[in-house]
Structure 1
Amino acid sequence: MTSNRWISVFLEAIAAERGAAANTLSAYERDLDHVAAWLSEQDQDFAGAERSDIEGYLVHCDVVGLSRATRARRLSAIKQLYRFAFEEGLRKDNPAVQITGPGRDKRLPKTLSTEEVDRLLDAASNHGRTQQDRLRNTCLMQVLYATGMRVTELVSLPVSAARGDPRMLLVRGKGGKERMVPLSPPARQSLADWLQARDAQDALAQEKGKAASTFLFPSRGKSGYLTRHAFYMLIKEFALEAGVSPEKVTPHTLRHAFATHLLANGADLRAIQTLLGHADVATTEIYTHVLEERLKELVLEHHPLADD
């Protein structure tokens, strides 16, 4: 069986058994294709590679300057592939089982102050050529900050989720897992305002013979809804207008701000884990470090003996 076939069979298995999302499958495929290409240059493949070959690949990744996070992710993909191969009888051994990775850089996620978020929300409400654009932009930002959703979860929301002035939204996250996220009063109002404008636009489109959209944020693009890239560019424009550095503002930064601000105001870490859709609370614990760093800054900035 060729390396390409190994990858194909592995991806089919995790798609069926874990319900892995398309983005997750694409990431695995890119990483494993890179490994397969390097092994091929060494006249080797997944079926015959030994531990020394895998370690040689990781050394190569280090030499060419790949980050620790990328190297750790590549090794994780390799380990999962070989665990699958061993369980399926494709190999009688697992050459990657005892290899330890470089670990990940413990970089704290970028976040925003509440004042910066307020300025972004205000900028969104005034950004757009038409009133409809401004209502959509307001809704996007209010719902994102109120719920901490991932950007893909936000832009692909079905319009049915917004019907009936909901106090909570049903979100389909990674691996098809569903969770409920509450809406703040401003988010509920912006959602109602946008839904009214969106439905009016949809009705006009149907009068012209076009099919009704099933998405809350429809688009004429192939996906049928506003793309992640389009929203990424929009949020950069909001940042410029709000006087916030565009370098620190992305849709994911608002997700970090959501979690950090909740934690700073006394929210339980387990509750934040549930709201964010994290499978492991260890992933959520990074926000405790963000809060600790902020507290240190406050002490250094305001303590009377800090300059001594």
Structure 2
Amino acid sequence: MIEKERLLDWYNEEMMIFQTEMDNKDYSKFTIDNYVRDIFFFLEYITRKKQEKVELSEVKKITLTLFMNELKTKRGNSAASRNRRLTAIRSFYKCLVDYELVSNNPASEYESAKEQKGKLPSYLEKEELRDFFAMVEKVSQKQHIKRNKVILGLMAFAGLRVTEIHTLNISSIHSLKKGILVTGKGNKSRYIPLPAKLYEEMMEYIKEERIFPMKGYEDAVFISRRGKRISRRRIQEITEKICETVEEAFPDYNWKSKGISSHKLRHTFATHLVRDGRDIRTVQELLGHSNLNTTQKYTHVSDAQKEKAMDMEVSDYFRNNDNNIM
């Protein structure tokens, strides 16, 4: 694999212009970081075979086809993930065409993968959630147990995204209201009141167990062992390790096939809110969805709910009656 530093040396001008253009258009930091990461991933692919710089003007549609196929077959990327990477490549090339660095955008007419519609979101039942949190102490280092529990709690009981936890600041905590101000997609802010115990655990972690931060990271809520803001990837790794342990201890849960991940804890939060009768508009606000249709997917009905609904007494309607005359 070609190192990022070498790729940056080869494509420094193109990447600089692309990032500047996105910044000028007020793209969120989250979007910029994701697009840049996707482009570096693509650049690594096109230079991997020859181990040398490939002119971006020489990239053909067939290259995109092979790249997308690798994402699907070798990386296990879903259709949604592949489409996001394609969007990044399409935007990258559009920028280069606009600035006359290339003359053609090979991704402009490339068709997106067909995403499965109507697929129900995976989530954890309350019993599974209890077993999940019980495993935190078993897989976490002693000094990180409370930190990890709070991180996972913010996803499972407040619906935060991984990036929102990564960027959460101490200055965003409302001590009087016992809640937090979260910056979500598109730099949109939303206030989230926290469950009392979760807020208590978070403040206890900050006051008693938070690692002393390096200069420049003083406001970050969650600090890594190196004293920096905990990375998005590390948050995902914590979840993955716990899921693996639960899968081994409770194989009947079949979490691997359900694809339980950090984001599925957010699904769990939303699903249980809706099941407990919370207003759908309130759920939308808590999740930070700009479109109510996105929230509607959490109104799905489980098999257990169907069984409960069908637990009715109908024997009177099938009782034999000898007095009936046919």
Q: Calculate the TM-score normalised by the size of structure 1.
A: 0.69
Match of 2:36 among 26, 35, 41: 26
The one of 231, 255, 258 aligned to 2:238 = 231
Within-5 A mapping of 1:261-280 = 261-280=272-291
Letter in 2 for 1:26: V
CA-CA distance at 1:45 after TM superposition: 4.7
Q: CA deviation at 1:144?
A: 2.8
User: Matches of residues 159-308 of structure 1 in structure 2 within 5 Å?
Assistant: 159-162=170-173, 164=175, 166-198=177-209, 213-221=218-226, 223-225=228-230, 227-229=234-236, 231-232=238-239, 235-236=242-243, 239=246, 243=250, 247=256, 249-288=260-299, 291-292=300-301, 294-295=302-303, 298-299=305-306, 303=310
Contact 2:64/2:107, CA 8 A, preserved across alignment: no
* Partner deviation per Cα, 1:72-105 (whole Å, 9 max, x = no partner): 2343223323433455555677554444322224
Unaligned runs of 5+ in 2: 1-8, 313-326
Identify the residue that residue 118 of structure 1 maps to in structure 2: 130
Bigger Rg over Cα: 2
Match runs of 1:133-172 below 5 Å: 134-162=145-173, 164=175, 166-172=177-183
Report the Cα distance in structure 2 between the residues aligned to 1:242 and 1:48, rounded to whole angstroms. 51
Cα displacement string for residues 170-214 of structure 1 (whole angstroms, at most 9, x for unaligned residues): 112345432212211222232343344237x86xx9xxxx99943
Output the amino acid matched with 2:235. R
Per the alignment, in what secondary structure is the counterpart of residue 181 of structure 2?
Answer: strand
Q: Which amino acid aligns with 1:141?
A: L
Give a deviation string over 1:20-56, Cα, whole Å, max 9, x none: 3364143332344157549999x9854466xxx32x2
Change (3 A) 1:80 1:62: closer
Judge conservation of contact 1:217–1:225 (CA < 8 Å) in 2: yes
Aligned counterpart, 1:6:
14
CA 1:14–1:265 in structure 2 vs 1: closer, same or farther (change >3 Å)? same
User: Does the C-alpha gap of structure 1 residues 46 and 157 become closer, same or farther in structure 2, counting only changes over 3 Å?
Assistant: same
> Distance in 1 between the 2:104 and 2:167 partners?
42
TM-aligned CA distance change 1:156 to 1:251, over 3 Å: same
Give the number of equivalent residue pairs.
288
Taking the aligned partners of 2:34 and 2:121, their CA distance within structure 1 comes to 21
Which amino acid in structure 2 is aligned with residue 6 of structure 1?
Answer: E
The Cα RMSD (Å) is: 4.5
Do the aligned residues in 2 keep the contact of 1:165 with 1:192 (CA within 8 Å)?
no
SS in 1 for 2:29: coil
Q: Residue type of the partner of 1:214?
A: D
Looking at structure 2, the residues matched to 265 and 37 of structure 1 have their Cα atoms a distance apart, in angstroms, of 52
SS in 1 for 2:20: helix
**How many percent of aligned residue pairs carry the same amino acid?**
24
- For structure 1, list consecutive stretches of 5 or more residues without a partner in the other structure: none
Q: Are 1:82 and 1:94, in contact at CA under 8 Å, matched by a contact in 2? A: yes
SS for the counterpart of 1:77 is helix
Q: TM-score, normalised by structure 2?
A: 0.66
Structure 1 CA distance, aligned partners of 2:197 and 2:102?
57
Secondary structure, aligned partner of 1:117:
helix
The change in CA–CA distance for 1:216 and 1:237 in structure 2 (over 3 A counts) is farther
Decide which moves more: 235-244 or 248-257. 235-244
Q: Is the 8 A contact 1:135 1:190 kept in 2?
A: yes
CA apart distance, 1:283: 4.2
